[in-house]
Structure 1
Amino acid sequence: MIYRFLLVLLVLLLPAIAFGEGSPRLAVENADYSFGKIYAGMKVEHTFRFKNSGDAPLMIDRVRSSCGCTAALLSSTIIGAGEIGEVKTTFDSARFKGAVVKTIYLYSNDPTQSVTQLYIRGTVQEEIEQEPAKVDMRALVPGATKEARVTLTNQGDKELLLSNLQVTASELKAEVTADRLAVGESAEVIIRATPKEGQAHLSGYVIISTSSANMPELRIPVYGAVAVAKPGT
């Protein structure tokens, strides 16, 4: 009788013992990837590899990135003991400038770290620098023309062509002093604004097409407040 009781007890306890001993362990080969220096508009692809160094299945609940500019694709949500998993990432550098760090979060059943962080970092440089990046005409006077200048500098490694200059507001006129930029050279965009009577604000863009695959279009915002004439003046 006692023998049968001990046998039943052992059968009941075995799953609990096995569960307590086995656990997954997420180990990343290199959690920090540096892409160095790239031009704005380029995309960076990198695959992070990790291993389940534990003795129970590793379950990846979800993958999340710190911003929509970075996509992450998981090879599998279940990684067996001793098996390798991958996270394929793509970082879109459009609209970024300077040093950047993006984080990918892996949520798993690893009892020692439920959230594992992966990093993509580097420096994003504009192939064509705009200085200033936007133009504030400030105190404009109806019927009077005000001028501003924006310098374009080729920071890339090949000659670039400028073409198809346009403005999006009838109060704006613009011209560029060169139609091609050698490496390291600059050109100026001369912008003239002439607000109309009764106009309170001026807003528009100067748009220039380029031969750059990374920056095919330059958009220079132009805005300003228009002085309102006082009654009797």
Structure 2
Amino acid sequence: MTNLKIAGLLVILTVFVSCKKSGPDFALLQTEKEFDFGTITLKDTVKHNFKIKNISDLPLKISEIGTSCGCTGAIVSDSIIEKNEFAEIEVQFIPKKEQTGKITNSIVIEANTNPPFTTLYLNGVVSDNDTE
């Protein structure tokens, strides 16, 4: 009878251990999704840093950053971000002559997240009037 109880306890213990929930196999990031730079002229340059935080247990691995046009550049400060750590994406926008009016440029981050792409936006107005 004692062997039967021990065997029963071992079965129950095995079930509990095997039912342990495993975490996701992707990282999670937290950041502001857009920045509004207001109104600028064609002579102005916009610079902004998007701060990214890894809110998962896995390291956040940024594999690539792309922008929607050649007038916008983006550089990441660290491509591997540990749990609860931060990195910054430094974005610079230099308007071209043909880019006046309302502007929306995107910055796409490819990382080990689900979905694998996160899009950030740079919004504002470019005026061709140099007096603003």
* TM-score in terms of structure 2 length: 0.78
1:1-233 matches, cutoff 5 A: 20-21=22-23, 23-28=26-31, 30-95=32-97, 96-110=99-113, 112-127=114-129, 156=131
**Unaligned residue ranges in structure 2 (runs of 5+):** 1-19
Q: CA deviation at 1:44?
A: 0.2
User: Per-residue displacement from partner, 1:172-203 (whole Å, max 9, x unpaired)?
Assistant: xxxxxxxxxxxxxxxxxxxxxxxxxxxxxxxx
**Unaligned residue ranges in structure 1 (runs of 5+):** 1-16, 129-155, 158-233
CA distance in 2, matches of 1:82, 1:101: 30
Q: Which has the higher contact order (CA 8 A, sep 6+)?
A: 2
1:107 maps to a residue whose letter is E
2:51 maps to a residue whose letter is R
1:108 maps to a residue whose letter is A
CA distance in 2, matches of 1:98, 1:60: 32
Identity %: 30
Q: Which has the larger radius of gyration?
A: 1
Deviant stretches of 4+, over 3 Å: none
State how many pairs are aligned: 113
| RMSD of aligned alpha carbons | 2.1
1:109 maps to a residue whose letter is N
Query: Are 1:34 and 1:122, in contact at CA under 8 Å, matched by a contact in 2?
Result: yes
User: Per-residue displacement from partner, 1:72-101 (whole Å, max 9, x unpaired)?
Assistant: 010111000111111000000132110010
Higher strand proportion (structure 1 or 2): 1
2:94 maps to a residue whose letter is D
CA distance in 2, matches of 1:51, 1:61: 16
* TM-score in terms of structure 1 length: 0.45
User: Per-residue displacement from partner, 1:147-171 (whole Å, max 9, x unpaired)?
Assistant: xxxxxxxxx15xxxxxxxxxxxxxx
Q: CA deviation at 1:42?
A: 1.1
CA distance in 2, matches of 1:51, 1:85: 7
Q: CA deviation at 1:41?
A: 2.4
CA distance in 1, matches of 2:85, 2:41: 37
